[in-house]
Amino acid sequence: MDLKEKLLSSFLAFEQKVDINAALHDVRTDALKVFENKGFPTKKEEAWKYTSLNAVLANDFNILPKNESDVEWKDVQKYFLNDVDTYKVVFINGVFSSHLSSTTHDGLDVCLMSSALTKPKYKMVIDTYFNQVANKEDSLTNLNTAYAFEGAYINIPKSTVVQKPIEILYFTTGTSSNFVQPRNLVIVGENAHVQIIERHQSLTDTAMFTNSVTEIYAAKRAIVDYYKLQNDLLTTNLVDNTYIEQKQESRVSVHTFSFGGNITRNNLNFYQKGERIDSTLKGITIIGEKQHVDHYTLVNHEEPNCESHQNYKGIYDERSTGVFNGKIYVNKIAQKTDAFQQNNNILLTDKATLNTKPQLEIFADDVKCSHGCTIGQLDESAMFYMQQRGIPKKEAKALLMYAFTDEVISSVAIPDLQLKLQKLISMKLGVNIGFDI
Amino acid sequence: MECQISNIFNFKLKEMLVIKNLHASVEDKEILKGINLEVKAGEVHAIMGPNGAGKSTLSSVIAGNENFEVTEGEIVLEGEDLGDLAPEERAHKGIFMSFQYPVEIPGVSVTNFIKTAINETRKANGQEEMPANEMLKLIKEKSELLEIDRKFLSRSLNEGFSGGEKKRNEIFQMAMLDPKVAILDETDSGLDIDALRIVANGVNKLKNENNAVIVITHYQRLLDYIVPDFVHVLHDGKIVKTGGKELALELEEKGYDWVK
């Protein structure tokens, strides 16, 4: 039985644990139908031209994995930003881990999707927000919706400035291959401010597949800084679908750091529903071996006087492959839009490849849209300059790559995370650069 | 008596850099066609010549730029053939080259860059890293020598620097690294008279009986400030004339056609 058939037939088993009389159940069954019709995306679809899931789908995945193993704090501590100074929502094989988590209901909700989906007190919020901004046509998003059950539920009331970052951690583990589908919902009220870090991490080297959906709603003048840290093992595969709806004067930024995994696909979608909105999409990809990272972004400028800033940097070593597809849509009434998109890449070998494609659809006539992409090798004259000053080739190379990623790293607003990223990058580049950067 | 003997011994100038019959090409085109040059400790040599004579190639080849192929001859530093040494290994042994066009490195401050350069050099020479307080003292001393503002040191290396700032930063790095042989490649280009004076003044203060300076320049101007002991004229990949400092003035007056 292939994975699609298995997903369709396992739905009956899934229904055993949810309330099939709830309105939500209709949403689930409708979503499953879309997936049934469309199936998994293939390279025949324009949006998936450069990313094939075929080899991944051939694995025999557990659809409804259980948390059978005990994961101790000391084993996973290194994946967290901080011991105490963050809220934590932690899942192991899709199941909530209370002893690793640090949730709250004190002035804000940082808790579980499963509670939000079932408890009456959340019903109004769920009816208003759940599956609203998510794409109703996208096959994998629908598959996630059909099985939506667990994930992080974050609700920040208006005018609340959350004092510490929220970490969402998804661990997979065990000897069998797991297919997990986390579902996150983030609602940020007027004038509220929150910082969130999301990470998926496998603890064993069996094949894993994560199909994640996150919906983020930023109300008037809300500020959301969202960081995705993708540094997973080579046996893991991730399709990350993130949908963001912004109201007037809100500022949302998403930084995606892709350093690991086998296949990683990021579908990042911004919908601007108001004026003077600011959307930021930044990313650094550093991969090697036969790793593959695909960034598929959409910024939907629907109203006037809004801005978007995209800046993606990639360093590709060995036989790795990268994709950047950035779509900017400017609605007819979205005058004075200022949309910026930049994608710079360094290929370290002849075998590494990159496909980059800006896609601009502009229907307003008074807008500022700029885009640019570069693919190059390391600057030889810069290498010679540093070597002349006594810096060996390997370190010089690393220093140049540091310099290349600096623009994105320096815009990370959490100092501890910035430091962690710099360490990760230097590990990734195989050097220990001896200065306090 | 013993003292006298050692004085006599010291008086004999030590050979720093010896270049013998150096031929070098880039993409099979021969640019240097047999250069001979001897530079002793404490000396300042000027290499002058028209555009395309091979001046910048000579400095790149001494520094070990791998874009050039040495087809014949040798470069010897204090008795050691630099032969196949990589640029960083030559730097560790005391070769410094001030670039005509210093490279911009965003995200890496001047201070962090020079710290890395110094500590990599010390590591290569089997020394411990320089203690932080010592480093700070050295930075303070050398930046004052070149009239460099402290704020400047925390800026990204060469990013958005003016022509003068870039050159001053090169000489600052030279001061920090304290090389045996410093090659100044067209250091005067892009400098106004004040910057030129500061740069030249810095070089003069750094010059001593244990190091040597090679000034590569098209114009005589810089040599008013850094006075050479020898002037060599490079033409079509060869040194065609050598003289004292008065040769530079003569060239300025008569032009390069005169020596061809």
8-state DSSP, A136: S
Query: In the prediction, which pLDDT does B36 show?
Result: 96
Query: In the prediction, which pLDDT does A435 show?
Result: 45
Query: In the prediction, which pLDDT does A66 show?
Result: 75
Distance CA(A129)–CA(A117), nearest Å, equals 11
Instruction: Say how many Å lie between the first and final Cα of chain A, rounded.
Output: 52
The tens place of each residue's pLDDT in chain B, 260 residues long, gives 444 444 445 555 788 999 999 999 999 899 999 999 999 999 999 999 988 899 999 999 999 999 999 999 999 999 999 988 999 999 999 999 999 999 988 878 899 899 999 999 999 999 999 999 999 999 999 999 888 988 889 898 998 898 889 999 999 999 999 999 999 998 888 788 888 998 899 999 999 999 999 999 988 888 999 999 999 999 999 999 999 999 988 888 888 887 76
Query: Could you say which of B101, B106, B120 has the minimum Cβ distance to residue A391?
Result: B120
For the cut 90, the answer to whether the pLDDT of residue A398 exceeds it is no
8-state DSSP, A62: B
One-letter amino acid for residue A433 of the chain: I
Cβ neighbours of B64 in A, within 8 Å: 387-388
Question: If pLDDT is split at 50, 70 and 90, which confidence band does A224 have?
Answer: very high
C-alpha angle with apex A336: A334 to A342, nearest 5 degrees?
A: 95
Substitution target from B82, B96, B116 for chain A, most A beta carbons within 10 A: B116
* Tokens of residue B74, six digits: 């040798």
**% of chain A with per-residue pLDDT over 90:** 84
Q: Please, are residues A256 and A229 in contact by the beta-carbon 8 Å criterion?
A: no
Mean pLDDT of A48-59: 95
Q: How far is CA A149 from CA A35, A183, A197, B197, in A?
A: 17, 7, 21, 73
Query: In the prediction, which pLDDT does B3 show?
Result: 45
- Whether ipTM > 0.90 holds is yes
Query: In the prediction, which pLDDT does B189 show?
Result: 82
How are beta strands A338-347 and A321-330 bridged, if at all?
Answer: unpaired
Distance CA(B237)–CA(B248), nearest Å, equals 19
Q: Give tens-digit pLDDT for A287-313.
A: 999 999 999 999 999 999 999 999 999
**% of chain A with per-residue pLDDT over 70:** 98
Backbone torsion region of residue A284, taken as left when φ is above 0, otherwise alpha when ψ lies between -120 and 50, otherwise beta: beta
8-state DSSP, B222: G
Secondary structure (DSSP) of B153-185: HTSEETTT--HHHHHHHHHHHHHHH--SEEEEE
Query: In the prediction, which pLDDT does B11 show?
Result: 53
Average pLDDT, chain A: 94
Q: What is the largest CA-CA distance in chain B?
A: 59
E strands, B49-202, where?
69-77, 80-81, 95-98, 105-109, 156-157, 181-185
Q: How far is CA A80 from the centre of its chain?
A: 17
Cβ neighbours of B119 in A, within 8 Å: 434
CA distance A197 to chain B (A): 24
Residue listed under structure tokens 């650094």: A284
Query: In the prediction, which pLDDT does B6 show?
Result: 44
Query: In the prediction, which pLDDT does A21 show?
Result: 80
Mean pLDDT of A68-73: 80
Question: If pLDDT is split at 50, 70 and 90, which confidence band does A67 have?
Answer: low
For the cut 90, the answer to whether the pLDDT of residue A141 exceeds it is yes
CA distance B4 to chain A (A): 39
State the pTM of this model.
0.85
Query: In the prediction, which pLDDT does B5 show?
Result: 46
Query: Could you say which of B107, B120, B129 has the minimum Cβ distance to residue A390?
Result: B120
Query: Could you say which of B86, B90, B102 has the minimum Cβ distance to residue A385?
Result: B102
How are beta strands A87-92 and A166-172 bridged, if at all?
Answer: parallel
Mean pLDDT of A386-400: 92
For the cut 60, the answer to whether the pLDDT of residue A24 exceeds it is yes
Q: Tell me whether B99 touches chain A (CB under 8 Å).
A: yes
Query: In the prediction, which pLDDT does A356 show?
Result: 95
* Tokens of residue A34, six digits: 């879309």
Query: In the prediction, which pLDDT does B2 show?
Result: 43
CA distance A30 to chain B (A): 50
Query: Could you say which of A380, A388, A403 has the minimum Cβ distance to residue B107?
Result: A403
Cβ neighbours of B112 in A, within 8 Å: 435-437
> How many CB atoms are closer than 10 A to CB A77?
11
Distance CA(A65)–CA(B231), nearest Å, equals 81
Q: Smallest Cα–Cα separation from A138: which of A3, A15, A255, A296?
A: A296
Q: Tell me whether B56 touches chain A (CB under 8 Å).
A: no
Cβ neighbours of B108 in A, within 8 Å: 399, 402-403, 406
CB contact under 8 A, B116 and A403: no
CB contact under 8 A, B112 and A436: yes
* Fold (topology level) of B14-259: Rossmann fold (3.40.50)
Query: In the prediction, which pLDDT does A434 show?
Result: 47
Residue listed under structure tokens 């969130």: A196
**Pairs across A and B, CB distance < 8 A:** 89
Q: Tell me whether B26 touches chain A (CB under 8 Å).
A: no
Q: Smallest Cα–Cα separation from A228: which of A205, A202, A251, A201?
A: A201
Domains of chain B, by residue range, sit at 14-259
Q: Please, are residues A221 and A158 in contact by the beta-carbon 8 Å criterion?
A: no
CB contact under 8 A, A435 and B112: yes
Give the gyration radius of chain B's Cα atoms: 19
Mean pLDDT of A422-437: 70
Distance CA(B247)–CA(B253), nearest Å, equals 10
Backbone torsion region of residue B161, taken as left when φ is above 0, otherwise alpha when ψ lies between -120 and 50, otherwise beta: beta
Cβ neighbours of B184 in A, within 8 Å: none
Cβ neighbours of B114 in A, within 8 Å: 389
Chain A residues with a Cβ under 8 Å from any Cβ in chain B: 379-382, 384-393, 395-396, 399-400, 402-403, 405-407, 409-410, 433-437
Question: If pLDDT is split at 50, 70 and 90, which confidence band does A437 have?
Answer: very low
